[in-house]
Amino acid sequence: MSKKRILWFGAAILAVPVVLGIYIATLLLTGNFHTVIAGELYRSAQPTPSALERYSRDFGIKTVINLRGANEKAGWYRAEIDESNRLGLVHEDFRMSSRTELTQNEAAALIELFKTAPKPILIHCTDGSDRTSLASALYIAAVARLGEEAAEDQISIRYGHIALPLSPTWPMDMTFEALEPWLGFHDS
């Protein structure tokens, strides 16, 4: 192989992680906000008070589900509670870890929260990529009942989730796979 081809090949290999990094940085800088089902469920990274006000105004958000769990001492948490109260939003805390699989009972509790919370709902975690992906997939599968493919599409690189075996966030992928029979999905 010529020196020129080796350089082009090397540049191409380096371009992939650079482009991926720029994409993920863009998601984070824009709040990683996406519509899951218009008028029902939206997803994002940790919203600032101004973003929460904008989402409430523009999308009619009535409930915020914080997948990071209650954290009374954290500034982000107090700001979120204060802004939710100011806007008249229902605020729910549901603690998940992107590094630990959700049990079926925990998934059932989250699904029940989805069913009973006033809609539209905004769900968020820190980056909106891992816990929020799994939660969105569970909503699509168990509440909206749009099928396995639509649910799994929520756990993807499109939202910043990198599905690599043995990565720290791989438990989100494994949780959905483990829950598929319970959700009514069977291998064909």
Q: Where residue 67 sits, what CATH number does that domain have?
A: 3.90.190.10
Instruction: State mean pLDDT over 62-84.
Output: 97
Tell whether 100 and 132 lie within a shared domain. Answer: yes
Tell whether 25 and 52 lie within a shared domain. Answer: no
Tell whether 25 and 40 lie within a shared domain. Answer: no
Task: With respect to residue 19, please indicate whether it lies within any of the assigned structural domains.
Answer: yes
The SS3 of residue 39 is: coil
Tell whether 17 and 81 lie within a shared domain. Answer: no
Instruction: Check pLDDT > 70 for residue 10.
Output: no
Tell whether 92 and 75 lie within a shared domain. Answer: yes
Which value, in Å, is the radius of gyration of the alpha carbons in the chain? Answer: 18
- Percent of the chain past pLDDT 90, that is, above it, reads 75
Binning the chain into helix, strand and coil, the percentages to the nearest 5 are 55, 10, 35
Tell whether 107 and 19 lie within a shared domain. Answer: no
Tell whether 63 and 2 lie within a shared domain. Answer: no
Partners of 124 in the β-ladder: 44, 66
State pTM to two decimals. 0.86
In angstroms, the CA 156 to CA 142 distance is 18
Tell whether 10 and 54 lie within a shared domain. Answer: no
Q: What is the domain extent for residue 23?
A: 1-30
In angstroms, the CA 170 to CA 183 distance is 20
Q: What is the pLDDT of residue 22?
A: 64
How many independent structural domains does the chain possess?
Answer: 2
DSSP label at 72? Answer: T
Task: With respect to residue 188, please indicate whether it lies within any of the assigned structural domains.
Answer: no
Tell whether 48 and 93 lie within a shared domain. Answer: yes
Closest by alpha carbon to 112, among 124, 125, 121?
121
Instruction: State mean pLDDT over 159-169.
Output: 85
pLDDT for 19-44, tens place per residue?
566 666 666 667 899 999 999 999 99
Q: How far is CA 36 from CA 87, 105, 137, 151, 166, in A?
A: 22, 23, 9, 10, 27
Tell whether 55 and 23 lie within a shared domain. Answer: no
Tell me what the pLDDT averaged over the chain comes to. 91
pLDDT for 96-110, tens place per residue?
999 999 999 999 999
Tell whether 73 and 60 lie within a shared domain. Answer: yes
Helical axes 75-87 vs 49-59, angle rounded to 10°: 30
Tell whether 105 and 56 lie within a shared domain. Answer: yes
